[in-house]
Amino acid sequence: MRKDAPEKVSQSELTFPVEELEPLLSGPSSTLAPFEPAMVKLKNGKTLVLRELRRDEAPKLLAFLKKLLDVDHDFYDIVGVRVYAEVLGWLRSRLKDPYQMIGIIDGKLAGFCNGRKMTDDVHISLHSMAYQRGGRVGAAVYYAKTQYAFETLGAKEWWSTFESYNGWMRWGVGMAQPSYPWPDIQHELGGAKVYYITKEYWDSTVKGYMKQVVGGELVRPVPADLLKASENVEFPDKPEV
């Protein structure tokens, strides 16, 4: 849009270095406490190691996520494209206070989860995905990020929504999550209905339910040999869907 200046000016054109524009466009530098690596023995007997996703791993994860866009069942395509945008938004500093973890079994990518701090009190559950079947990996990564939000970052509420029927059955119905009135209150994922957990409900009920579903508790610290084995992750050639 153009409009005549209401006053004489000494310079009719002003130039901004991108270094001065970037602080206006990017999210604030994250001050979130780190996620301490954890492990859990799954119901299939395998050990899942959970740790933060590193920035240098993001390009490989993005390449893997592209393969989900061609999966035409169970909403993998929409979840895949949204997770792709979230990881890229984190990598390009266009997402406020995100956190993302990966689950690793025997050095191979087994799962992914992410969320973000919307306010000090309210954290947003974005997505949880399992890339290996039969071990309740999806439950484990959802448990890890929810525990992190409440017990490390001090969230008072955890807001979720669900794209797939399976996710809604497992977490929405399984946890008996209440919902806020819609459309008065909307989740940022497409304006969908907000399901929520309070810290009190987490402590009294949901945390125990999650342990039952996963099959065990998250254990810390992770032995040095398991951490070492999780440093260089092997990304699957194709998703196990």
DSSP 161-221: --SSHHHIIIIIITTT--B--TTTSB-TTTTPBPEEEEHHHIIIIIHHHHHHHHSS--BSS
Q: Does 157 fall in a domain?
A: yes
The one-character DSSP state at 55 is: G
7 lies in a domain? no
pLDDT in tens, 218-229: 999 999 999 999
Buried b (16+ CB within 10 A) or exposed e, 36-65: ebbbbbbeeeebbbbbebeeebbeebeebb
- Where in the sequence is the domain holding 110, given as residue range(s)? 34-229
Domain-embedded: residue 26: no
What confidence tens digit (pLDDT) does each residue in 126-179 have?
999 999 988 899 999 999 999 999 999 999 999 999 999 999 998 999 999 999
- Regarding pTM above 0.85, the answer is yes
Is the sign of the CA dihedral 179, 180, 184, 187 positive or negative?
A: negative
We report the CATH number of the domain holding residue 164 as 3.40.630.30
Q: With a cut of 50, list the residues of the chain below it in pLDDT.
A: none
Residue 158 near residue 194 (C-beta atoms within 8 A)? no
Q: Is 155 inside a domain boundary?
A: yes
| pLDDT attached to residue 238 | 83
The answer to the question of residue 3 being in a domain is no
Q: Which residues pair with 158 in a beta bridge?
A: 123, 197
Instruction: Flag whether 158 is in a domain.
Output: yes
**Token pair for 73:** 């069942």
The greatest distance separating any two alpha carbons of the chain, rounded to the nearest whole angstrom, comes to 76
Total domains present in the chain:
1
The phi, psi pair for 36, rounded to 5°, reads -75, 125
With respect to residue 25, please indicate whether it lies within any of the assigned structural domains: no
- For residue 13, being part of any structural domain is answered with no
* Alpha-carbon gap, residue 108 to 131, rounded angstroms: 10
Q: How far is CA 151 from CA 33, 39, 142, 158, 209, in A?
A: 11, 17, 14, 12, 16
User: What's the pLDDT score for residue 27?
Assistant: 73
